[in-house]
Structure 1
Amino acid sequence: MEKRTVAGRSGQEWLSSLPACFLLLAVVIFSTSSDIHNKVLQLGQDLWSGYYQLRFDPVQPTCNPAINVDAAVQQRLAQKPSGDDALLGGLLDSGPVDPKAIRASIENAKKACQAQFADYRSIQSRITPGVKVYRSVELFIADVVAFGLTAQRYILALIVMVCAATATFTRHHIAMRGMETRLDYTVSHFLQFLANSMLLMSSYMYRKMSHDSGAIMTTGQEVLHDLWIGGFLLLTLVSVYKLFRVPSEMKEGGSLMHAFLTVPLYTTMCLVSGSYFSLVAHNAAGIGIYLDKMMELSDMFLNVGLYVWAGMMLKQTRLASLVFNLFRPWKMPPELLAVVAVMVASVPTAYTGASGIFVIAAGSVIYSELRNAGARRQLALAATAMSGSLGVVLRPCLLVVVIAYLNRQVTTDNLYHWGGWVFLLTSVLFLLMSMVFNRQRGFKLAPASEAFPEMITALRPVIPYILVIAAVVVFYWLVLGVAMDEFSAPRILPVIMLGILVYEHVRFKGSREHVSGEIDHKGLEQSLRSATTETTSEIGALLLLFGLSVSIGGVIERSDVMSMFPQALGSPWSAMLLMVAILVVLGMIMDPFGAVILVSSTVASIAYDSGINPIHFWMVTLVAFELGYLSPPVALNHLLTRQVVGEDEMNASYLKEGTFYQRHERVMMPLLVMGVALLIVAFGPLFYYAR
């Protein structure tokens, strides 16, 4: 698929990137159309009072507004008992008929009918040609919104399958180690074949089980079943093709232990959960059932794809380099620059809602800019892995919203308030670790008299980007009535990045001038194409991992592992120690949203019943999850960092000399920062309450 074929485009770009681009654009259009429809409805109400009544032609009432009351009364009095009353021998007869009551009833019915006709004529007279034109547009937008809501599940299934097949074809799935030998390649792709076959069989069995149960299957459900089956069939065929197409660059030799480390994480999760459901739970459809549950959160997983796409478009722009240029005049040591980069990255992380998503979306930009500023590889890798860890407790992080939605004991305001203090704590710890324990050269900044004018000069090229961003945000706010928050960010950020790409295309007339002075001849189309090509593999790897993480959560839930723990512990100290261990492990093996759902339904009640304050518990949970994402043996954020910076950079970072800490700084530094933060957040308040 790397060979150029038609019109200078590779097979991957035609068969994967182009469909993925259309699907992602469709998500943005459908979600934005909902905002447009709300605004159109509001505008219609402003133009025509009571517009909601004018959206459809009124139905003419069937009653008679000119009924003769006297004749109707006489007709009612002349009526004989109905058949049922006659059979009951008049037992239901309540006495003589009151003519006055009958007349009053008929007169009231006549007045109501006349009012209905008056409303009918009033509405009909107000439906002018202008209203008809306006409502035809409004109803078309409403149909688009309804279609978009219905299509969400199918779009997600298509994106997962197209992008997962691309990740398999390009060897881009998330694994502990990259493939280096023929043994690595064979073992990895053989196990991927087994896992994909298991997914195919589970999806087929789920479809068969749904039919055998006698439940009524809608057309939409049938289509979704067929999409999963067809997608996993494609994935299985791709893995078979790759299994027998060993690349020539693969070296001979290798060890079986290293080969198992090259197996993608989703494959391991699939084999574990599939074996459990088939052999223990005796339900071969288990994985298919839990993957179908993924559809219930289709908007959230589609947002993941949009965030990654926006991050890859950011990588195609000059914006990140220009922002880093603002700090270069101060001649910061690399350690301090790494702290600044991680703290700045906390803001977009708060919008993405998960550190792993941010690492995939913007990790390569942070790593390359830190390296350009002189940071050593180990430090740059550590900062990249941590780049999303500090912002998950800040407003408007969607993960916090999910926690508050699932747990009535806490509110978003309280969580965000204490999250700000947790952010301050982790930032100070990162600063101390970088500047006191990790500094390898003197701490000396450039004089403000020299640095500040240069910083102002470096700010000038950033101003147009700020204006583009502000224009998009203000447009959504003023025209569509949508503020930039955790709910709107997924659809606004891609529009912002598209606006920046358009600006650069116009400003540089199809070429982009780098900070180094080199010219990269990329126009709008090529930049968007490059960003989407990178996005497809990243989305496929991430979403398939998230989907199988949901399945692992199902194994934990179905196996009643959590029931092995006591429902309440006598001491908050022992309960907190147990909670910390459980939460860190869950952070190692599950995606954040799935882990929050599992924790809410299992261990949260144990913590509450053991005397741990709910807000305190969830602050601990968020920090513990981040420590889990940075902790071996899985260390997901480090694996995602490897994914975005490449195997060559990772291999070049390995040191044979120096202390243990220096040789493993990229892992040790984040562990120490988040580990100390977790101990303080978990047990500090208990010391305070114990006084």
Structure 2
Amino acid sequence: MEATSRFTLANRSIGEWISSLPTLVILLITIFLASGEIIHSQLLKIGENSWQEYFLLRSNPSEPTCQRDRDIDADVARAIAEREAAAANDPLAGLLGTDIDADAVRRSVIRSQEVCQERWDRYEHVASRITPSVEAFRAVETTVAMAVTELGAYKRLLLCLLLLICAATTTVMRHHIALRPMRTVRDHYVSTLAQLGANSILAVSAIVYREREIMSMADGIQVGHFYLHQFWIAGFTLLAAINIWQLVRPPKNMESGGGWGKALLTIPLYSFMALNAGLRFIMDEYYHGISVYLGMIMELSTLFLNLALYIWIGMMLKQTRLAQLVFNVFRPWHMSPELLCFVVLAVTALPTAYTGASGIFVIAAGAVIYAELMRAGARPQMALATTAMSGSMGVVLRPCLVVVIIAALNNAVTTTELFNSGIKVFFFTLFLFFIYSQFARKEPARIAPFGQALPASLKLLKPIIPYVIVLMAVVLFFRFVLDRRLDEFSAPIILPVVLLAILVYEYVLTPRARREAHAEEDLAEGIDRPRNLEQAVRRATNETTGHIGALLILMAMSACVGGIIERSGMMENVPDAFPSIWIAMAMLVATLVFIGMIMDPLGAVILVNATLAQIAFANGIAPLHFWIVTLVAFELGYLTPPVALNHLLTRQVVGDDEVENAKVSHGSFWVRYEKYLLPMAVMFTALILIAFMPLLFDGLHDWLFQKIDVSAQIIPLD
């Protein structure tokens, strides 16, 4: 944080103590909760395999209250006497009979004594088996069970705290996502005042919502998670207070002057959304509308916490040498820039899928991708285009989080079906990029001779082998020790452990001499890399905090915009039935691209599932076809101005000055705006062909969108 960076405590800034450290704790708790149940299940299996009937040993048995050394004759005589006394006092005893079966009484006493003895035998048997080793093991097992149960009930609070802490950090750092960065004093005041207005609306909405819920409880209506209101109110008030402080103390490095038009573009996107949503809700006298939709996001707390984990994964990947080593493998081939861009998109598709969403991978590896492409001689505009697209190609591949959300929200499609269709779409889109890039090339395509490049490339694969070993070791540990495969459900749990293990390998297990050699290489190439494990994790977490704040609050406000669209009745004006399936698809494609231009993927999927999906199905569009079209349309939206989120994130990691220097003021329209036009051309062509060609050819439709018999497969849900 700016204001606290000069003060340190235990070699850490105050900002790290109050933002990065809590963020790290929340992320680690999230990993524990996500894997806690399976860990507890494995502990129970270990306990049962180690000690028979372990479930009886999990707690100290209670000593039986009955007396096992009893005088049978005395007990029988006492029981008969009690019955005789009861019969004497019963006026109906004469009618019912007063004979007492002494043998029956004796059998009852004997049986009671046998049951008592069995209880004592069982107690002594169990108590004798509770050894110190059992006590130590069950202390661990029961602690895990209690922690999972107790903490699992507070996932909403974890997400609330994560969003507010990171949003406050992002606000202090002035790291929110906007169409252009702040450069002038006027930019600062316009952007900060807009944020102050947005955060004030959010705080007022939270206060009103709390008052409404208090009224509901007074009327006897049950309200869940009421305690969260205090956190929302305090958090949004803190954000507003930070804005006031920034207005009072503007940064000293701002340029003087500035135009009003450019200043408006520095307003963060979340502020635009919050102001528009807040004002619309106020006009509808629905003053707490924003808070209501924030509460709906809390229902999906697990998904948003997983998204935060994916961001952390990306930032840890950024601290490793892995991306650089992978690029080194391609250097001996001396490929032409266009061909190298094609290879980069093919290689980065899988890590894009494993980092959850397109924007996260751009943040994680965008700077490395851009630098390597520029080193290979790529045009700046094409390097920026490829960097922005590097986060778009893999969203249809396993185990992308957006696809998992689609399958979780409706039963019409499964993740297996979506990923099977997605891999075909991926290769088709990659082929389209190759075609467009070759038509746009400025020099002949080239590649080094196979016999010369292959040996050198294989030699450069050697440094990557340890990383593969570390990856496989962690994956196999989860598979055989915790019984958890690496798939779309477990990726948010396993991948952070993989990256932590890689950091341990690089900064602890690698010999010191080699680490120093790597440091010298990085210094020669202008790469600033941490010196030890603690610095690497700390830097990754610091960057994660800022990015989480920027992305999560944007997604939260995007959900509120979806609420406005839903409440406005805009979707209700769309007819349920169209004259033909072609017109229906055209309308859906245009609407989906527009939604992708203004909303984040998670909020957009939720909105589309509740509105457009039903229209598509009613007009004969197959669910699998519709959702694949949705994914491609969203990616086109993220690459299309005026917002072009992937380009905004590219600018954040590459640098404003670098992007400004990459601008071309002469040449054709394509040359001047290639960074936008190339991705748009590729994704638009893919979208049109994927949307309409399967409607024309049934065979293509059946091949591209093949349904799978769900009853014949077992989908892991844990």
TM-score by structure 1 length? 0.89
Shift of 1:541: 0.5
Tell me which moved more, 4-13 or 648-657. 4-13
Q: Aligned runs of 1:372-521 on 2, under 5 Å?
A: 372-435=375-438, 437-506=439-508, 507=510, 509=512, 511=516, 512-514=519-521, 517=524
Query: How far apart, CA to CA, are the structure 2 residues paired with 1:556 and 1:377?
Result: 38
Residue matched to 1:352: 355
1:135 aligns with 2:138: yes
Q: Check if 1:251 corresponds to 2:255.
A: yes
Residue 53 of structure 2 is aligned to residue 46 of structure 1? no
Cα pair distance change 1:212/1:613, threshold 3 Å: same
Residue 574 and residue 62 in structure 1: after superposition, are their counterparts in 2 closer, same or farther (change >3 A)? farther
Amino acid at match of 2:495: L
What is the SS of the residue equivalent to 2:500? Answer: helix
What does the per-residue CA deviation read over 1:349-370, in whole Å, with 9 as the maximum and x for residues that have no partner?
2223321222223322322222
Query: Helix, strand or coil: the match of 1:221?
Result: coil
**What displacement does 1:382 show?**
0.9
Alpha-carbon distance between aligned partners in 2 of 1:620 and 1:46, rounded to the nearest angstrom:
50
1:322 alignment partner, SS class: helix
Give distance in 1, aligned partners of 2:180 and 2:240: 22
Query: How far apart are 1:78 and its partner, in Å?
Result: 11
Secondary structure in 2 matching 1:568:
coil
CA-based RMSD: 3.4
Taking the aligned partners of 1:23 and 1:551, their CA distance within structure 2 comes to 25
**Which residue in the other structure is 2:230 paired with?**
226
Residue of structure 2 aligned with 1:175, choices 174, 178, 182: 178
Which residue identity is paired with 1:687? L
State the match for 2:648 in structure 1.
639
Please say if 1:524 is aligned against 2:527: no
Alpha-carbon distance change, 315 to 77 in structure 1, aligned in 2, over 3 angstroms: farther
Confirm or deny: 8 A CA contact 1:310 1:497 kept in the other structure.
yes
- Aligned positions of 1:205-244 closer than 5 A: 205-214=208-217, 221-244=225-248
Letter in 1 for 2:441: R
Distance 1:214 1:206 in 2: 12
Q: 1:361 aligns with which of 356, 360, 364?
A: 364
Match for 2:225: what amino acid? Q
Say yes or no: does 1:318 pair with 2:321: yes
8 Å CA contact 2:399–2:491 kept in 1: the answer is no
Q: Residue 19 of structure 1 corresponds to which residue in structure 2?
A: 22
* Residue-by-residue CA offset, 1:535-582 (whole Å, 9 max, x unaligned): 221111011101111111222222222111112224111111111111
Distance in 2 (CA, whole Å) between partners of 1:63 and 1:548 is: 65
Q: 5 Å matches for 1:613-628? A: 613-628=622-637
Deviation at 1:116, TM superposition (A): 7.4
How many angstroms apart in 2 are the aligned matches of 1:549 and 1:204? 21
- 1:620 CA drift (Å): 0.8
Task: Identify the range of structure 1 (456-465 vs 324-333) with the bigger mean alpha-carbon deviation.
Answer: 456-465
Counterpart of 2:287? 284
Distance 1:603 1:64, change over 3 A: farther
Match of 1:159 among 162, 176, 179: 162
Specify the code of the residue in structure 2 equivalent to 1:541.
A
Separation in 2 of the partners of 1:55 and 1:146? Answer: 16
- Bigger mean CA deviation after superposition, 354-363 or 190-199: 354-363
- Which amino acid in the other structure matches residue 234 of structure 1? L
Aligned residues between the structures: 677
CA deviations on 1:109-128 (whole Å, 9 max, x unpaired) are 97999987776666555444
With 175-184 and 118-127 compared, the bigger mean Cα shift is at 118-127
- Cα pair distance change 1:572/1:117, threshold 3 Å: farther
Q: Displacement, 1:312?
A: 1.7
Q: Aligned partners of 1:238, 1:196: CA distance in 2, in Å?
A: 10
Quickly say closer, same or farther: Cα 1:410–1:9, change in 2 above 3 A: closer
The offset of 1:61, in angstroms, is 7.5
TM-score, scaled to structure 2: 0.86
> How far 1:190 sits from its partner (Å)?
0.4
Q: Which secondary structure state, in structure 2, belongs to the residue aligned with residue 391 of structure 1? A: coil
C-alpha separation in 1, matches of 2:330 and 2:120: 72
Residue 152 of structure 1 and its aligned partner are, at CA, apart by 2.7
- Structure 2 counterpart of 1:680, which letter? L
Q: Deviations over 1:56-110 (max 9, x none)?
A: 3445788999999999999999999xxxxx9xxxxxxxx99xx99x99xx99x97
CA distance in 1: counterparts of 2:403 and 2:579, whole angstroms = 28
- The question of whether the paired residues in 2 share the 8 Å contact of 1:502 and 1:524 is answered with yes
Q: Could you tell me which residue of structure 1 aligns to residue 565 of structure 2?
A: 556
Match for residue 83 of structure 1?
none
For the Cα contact (< 8 Å) 2:555–2:602, is it kept in 1? no
Residue of structure 1 equivalent to 2:609: 600
* CA separation of 1:136 and 1:662: change in aligned 2, threshold 3 A: same
User: In the alignment, is the contact (CA less than 8 A) between 2:202 and 2:274 conserved in 1?
Assistant: yes
In 2, Cα distance between the equivalents of 1:13 and 1:319?
Answer: 26
**What per-residue deviation string (whole Å, max 9, x for no partner) do you get for residues 369-415 of structure 1?**
22233222211111111112121111222322222222222222222
Residues 74 and 542 of structure 1: is their aligned pair in 2 closer, same or farther, counting only changes over 3 Å? farther
Question: What is the CA-CA distance between 1:501 and the residue it aligns to?
Answer: 2.1
**CA positional deviation for 1:32:** 4.1
Q: Check conservation: 1:588, 1:635, Cα contact below 8 A.
A: yes
SS in 2 for 1:283: coil
What is the alpha-carbon distance in structure 2 between the residues aligned to residue 581 and residue 464 of structure 1?
Answer: 47
Q: Tell me the SS of whatever aligns to 1:252.
A: coil
* CA positional deviation for 1:649: 1.4
Change beyond 3 A, Cα 1:194–1:113: farther
Label 1:171 to 1:508 Cα distance change in 2 as closer, same or farther (>3 A). farther
Structure 1 window deviating more from structure 2 (22-31 vs 217-226): it is: 217-226
**Unmatched segments (≥5 aa) in structure 2:** 701-718
- The residue aligned with 2:549 is 540
Aligned partner of 1:150 among 144, 147, 153: 153
Deviation at 1:50, TM superposition (A): 3.2
Cα 1:382–1:117 change in 2 (3 A) is farther
Partner residue, 1:329: 332
Q: Specify the SS of the correspondent of 1:475.
A: helix
Q: Which stretch of structure 1 is more off in the superposition, 213-222 or 14-23?
A: 213-222
Q: Report the alpha carbon displacement of residue 4 of structure 1 after superposing the two structures with TM.
A: 2.9
Identify which of 584, 593, 597 aligns with 1:588: 597
Q: For residues 460 and 677 of structure 1, what CA distance do their matches in structure 2 show?
A: 37
Counterpart pick for 1:294 among 289, 293, 297: 297
Q: Which residue of 2 aligns with 1:90?
A: none
2: distance between equivalents of 1:450 and 1:385? 32
Aligned to 1:92: none
- What CA distance in whole angstroms lies between the structure 2 residues aligned with 1:219 and 1:603? 31
CA contact (8 A) 1:318 1:514 kept: no
Distance 1:636 1:522 in 2: 33
Asked if 1:198 is matched to 2:215, the reply is no
SS at match of 1:4: coil
**Residue 6 in structure 1 maps to residue 15 in structure 2:** no
How far off its partner does 1:235 sit? 0.7
| Alignment check: 8 A CA contact 2:323 2:365 kept | no
Deviates more, 1:678-687 or 1:456-465: 456-465
